[in-house]
Amino acid sequence: MNQQDIEKAAQMILAAREVVVFTGAGVSTESGIPDFRSPDGIWSRYDPEDFTIQRFIASKEARKRNWRLREELIAANYQPNPAHIAIADLERMGKLRCVITQNIDGLHQAAGNSPDRVIEIHGTIKFAKCLECDKRFPITDVLQRIKNGDEDPHCEVCGGLLKAATISFGEAMPQKEMYEAEKASRECDLFIVIGSSLVVYPAAQLPIIAKRSGAKLIIVNFTPTDQDSMADLVLHGKAGEVMSAILEKVREKVS
């Protein structure tokens, strides 16, 4: 971790009028949440095909496997890590417009970010939704129904299928959240990518939108990304360590 880069990142944050943070799986994994694509990740234990919207709708057995994964993730009770805390600190300092996250775990809110400043473009594991009437239920309530013997829970309002309120393969991105994310990306003057390899589109288009709209771009990721060449600053390292160091430097300069 280059101290000159930490200093430069802190200066860029202090100079910014409006910061947008974009987070990916590299932030969640530091809380112990397994990623999907690594050799020991979630897809080593589950078939990705079961997580397409088409398979979910067509197969009760696929739905049961979906709920099994949701139960596994909820039961683990993952907690925010230093990267989440640093991002919440940006809000407390009055610098943060919003967090755009690919993660579904709700840890930004748990760390202290205001829910109305967190844009969850891939949905949230905290709720289940009805595929017919779109009503939402706390996912813990639905998982309790499953524990009580309801293997294939349906909506208590209209009878439609329930699924976790996350975006499945083949499912359309949420229009409202994507509109808000693109608008924030166009209007910010500093866009910080944290813990994303920037390979999943359309989400990975957001840093490009920000850069083309005149924003400075910082990328914090453990490994290089395809967008490093257009960034104003790239810091390779663990998200928690890098962001904690940057925020410590920011606090030094404002104290």
Dump pLDDT digits (tens) for 76-122: 889 999 999 999 999 999 999 999 999 999 999 999 999 999 999 99
Domain 34-77+125-166 has CATH 1.20.1050.10: no
Beta strand pairing call for 123-130 and 190-194: unpaired
Give the count of beta carbons closer than 10 Å to the beta carbon of residue 38.
12
Cα dist. 68→60, 73, 154, 227 in Å? 12, 9, 16, 36
Chain segment 17-66, per-residue pLDDT in tens: 999 999 999 999 999 987 766 666 676 677 788 889 999 999 999 999 99
Distance CA 112, CA 79 (A): 12
3-state secondary structure of 28: helix
In 102-238, alpha helices (H): 107-111, 139-147, 175-187, 206-212
Strands 216-221 and 190-194: parallel
For residues 213 and 185, the answer to whether their CB atoms sit within 8 Å is yes
User: Annotated active-site positions, please?
Assistant: 122
pLDDT at residue 39 in the model: 61
Q: What pLDDT, on the 0 to 100 scale, is given for residue 224? A: 96
Determine the Cα–Cα distance for residues 241 and 154; give it in Å rounded to an integer.
43
DSSP, residue by residue, 125-157: EEEEEETTT--EEEHHHHHHHHHTT-SS-B-TT
User: What pLDDT digit, counting tens, does each position of 218-250 carry?
Assistant: 999 999 999 999 999 999 999 999 999 999 999
- Predicted TM-score (pTM) of the model is 0.93
The number of residues making up the chain comes to 255
Percent of the chain with pLDDT over 90: 86
What are the domain boundaries of the chain? 1-33+80-122+172-255, 34-77+125-166
Confidence of residue 182 (pLDDT cuts 50, 70, 90): very high
Is 193:218 a contact under the CB 8 Å cutoff? Answer: yes
Residue keyed to tokens 């949701």: 70
d(CA 177, CA 211): 20
CATH of domain 1-33+80-122+172-255: 3.40.50.1220
For 66, list phi and psi in degrees, rounded to 5.
-60, -50
* Residues contacting residue 231 through CB under 8 Å, at least 6 positions apart: 193, 207, 217, 218, 219
**Digit-coded pLDDT (tens) for 138-174:** 999 999 999 999 999 999 999 999 999 999 988 999 9
Residues ≥6 apart with Cβ < 8 Å to 182: 206, 209
> Taking all residues of the chain, what is their mean pLDDT, rounded to a whole number?
94
Distance, CA of 203 to CA of 63 (rounded, Å): 26
